[in-house]
């Protein structure tokens, strides 16, 4: 499978401050790739480098297996940091300017305004829009010409819950078109809802990468309730089925050894003649996993 984006050992320093350090990651076609991290972790710097806004100090990146050139950039829609529009112009005139700069067909303006639910406000001045509407207008500019790749830096930043939901729906619709989307965000719940893959950055370095599902299922604890919790705990430890196990009263909290599942615990307990009153896998949220990683 051809990679859409390959980043190899990318680094960027600002004086003594390291913004990105030896970052390597790959993004495949159709992936919705979330880049997570606390403030100052290198998210915006990374996106600025791969969209050609700033240059890396060392390392490289390739789009579609090629060195970046103008032809490739035309197929990448990007929104980095604060969107800039002319406050005294209406939405259509603002997008007209954007389309001409990007070399996109002016006839696509109507489509993108309808797509982001701003058609009814097309003749409104930019400075009369709410923050959520301004963010949606920025997304409409990104979507001009149907680019196959979207690069979005904090697309829901500063929005209220309604605005966040609107932006989420736009991203989900673009995902259904099999577009590749790379987005930096600190709204972990949104990343969990829309992303297929994720990389967690800390101090400019990647500390975890993978599919969102795999990242969340790793180390999910299994909760067991039974009358013979003490004996079951000893048997599980002897059998090497757990990485760690804690007991409180009749409850066991088990982090399983790699490759083991709750079903293995159930079958093991049965083989030892131990009856379980309750068995569940406690799913972690992306937020809890993220906090564990960045501590």
What is the residue whose two structure tokens read 């001409």? 100
Neighbours of 88 (CB within 10 A): 10
Task: Name the strands in the sheet holding 58-63, side by side, starting at the edge strand that comes first in the sequence.
Answer: 17-27, 5-14, 58-63
Based on the fold, state whether residues 58 and 183 are members of the same structural domain: yes
How many distinct structural domains can be found in the chain? 2
Is 109 part of a structural domain of the chain?
Answer: yes
Residue 27: the pLDDT is 95
pLDDT, residue 292, reads 60
Contact 214, 51 (CB under 8 A): no
Pick the last residue of a domain from 216, 247, 272. Answer: 216
206 and 226 co-located in one domain: no
Same domain, 234 and 136: no
Domain ranges, residue 232: 218-284
Q: Are residues 206 and 222 in the same domain?
A: no
Do 66 and 148 fall into the same domain? yes
Do 190 and 60 share a structural domain?
yes
117 φ/ψ angles, rounded to the nearest 5 degrees: 60, 40
Characterize the bridge pairing of strands 76-79 and 5-14: unpaired
Ramachandran angles phi, psi of 291, nearest 5°: -65, -35
Asked if residue 82 belongs to a domain, the reply is yes
Could you tell me the two tokens for 117? Answer: 């639910």
pLDDT at 41: 87
Of 216, 233, 258, the last residue of a domain is 216
The list of the chain residues with pLDDT below 70 reads 1, 82-83, 214-219, 283-295
Pairwise CA distance, residues 29 & 177, whole Å: 11
Q: Which two tokens stand for residue 88?
A: 């005294």
For 196-240, what is each residue's pLDDT tens digit? 999 989 888 988 888 887 665 556 788 899 999 999 999 999 999
> What is the longest distance spanned by two Cα atoms in the chain?
77
Q: Are residues 76 and 180 in the same domain?
A: yes
Q: Are residues 116 and 226 in the same domain?
A: no
CATH number of the domain that 175 lies in?
Answer: 3.40.50.300
Residue 280 has a pLDDT of 86
Tell me whether residue 293 is in a domain. Answer: no
Per DSSP, 63 falls in state E
Whether residues 171 and 239 fall in one domain: no
Reading the block at residue 6, the tokens are: 């390959």
**Which are the contacts of 105, defined by CB distance < 8 A and separation ≥ 6?**
99, 145
Q: For residues 144 and 243, state if they share a domain.
A: no
Domain boundary (163, 181, 216) is at 216
Quote the DSSP letter at residue 31.
Answer: -
In angstroms, the CA 178 to CA 173 distance is 9
CB 69 within 8 A of CB 234: no
The model's pLDDT over 115-126, given as tens digits with 9 standing for 90+, comes to 999 999 999 999
Residues 28 and 60 in one domain: yes
My answer on whether 228 and 209 are in the same domain is: no
What per-residue confidence (pLDDT) applies to 123?
96
Could you tell me the CATH number of the domain that includes residue 256? 3.30.70.980
The answer to whether position 292 is within a domain reads: no
């Amino acid at each position: 499978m051809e990679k859409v984006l390959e980043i190899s050992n990318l680094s960027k320093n600002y004086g003594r401050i390291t913004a990105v350090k030896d970052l390597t990651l790959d993004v495949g076609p159709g992936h919705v790739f979330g880049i997570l991290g606390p403030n100052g972790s290198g998210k915006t710097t990374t996106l600025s480098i791969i969209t050609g806004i700033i240059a890396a100090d060392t390392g490289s990146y390739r789009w579609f297996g090629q060195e970046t050139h103008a032809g490739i950039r035309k197929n990448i829609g990007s929104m980095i940091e604060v969107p800039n529009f002319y406050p005294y112009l209406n939405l259509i005139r603002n997008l007209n300017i954007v389309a001409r700069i990007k070399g996109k067909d002016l006839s696509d303006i109507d489509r993108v305004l309808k797509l982001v639910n701003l058609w009814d406000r097309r003749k409104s001045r930019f400075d009369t829009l709410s923050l959520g509407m301004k963010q949606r207008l920025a997304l409409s500019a990104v979507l001009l010409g149907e680019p196959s790749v979207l690069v979005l830096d904090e697309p829901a930043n500063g929005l209220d819950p309604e605005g966040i939901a609107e932006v989420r729906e736009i991203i989900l619709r673009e995902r259904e078109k099999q577009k590749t989307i790379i987005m930096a965000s600190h709204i972990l719940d949104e990343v969990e809802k829309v992303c297929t893959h994720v990389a967690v950055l800390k101090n400019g370095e990647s500390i975890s990468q993978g599919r969102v599902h795999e990242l969340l299922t790793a180390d999910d604890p299994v909760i067991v309730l039974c009358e013979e919790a003490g004996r079951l705990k000893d048997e599980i430890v002897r059998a090497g089925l757990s990485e760690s196990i804690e007991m409180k009263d009749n409850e066991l909290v088990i982090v399983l050894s790699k490759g083991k599942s709750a079903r293995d615990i159930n079958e093991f307990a049965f083989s030892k003649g131990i009856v379980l009153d309750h068995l569940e896998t406690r799913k972690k949220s992306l937020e809890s996993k993220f906090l564990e990683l960045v501590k």
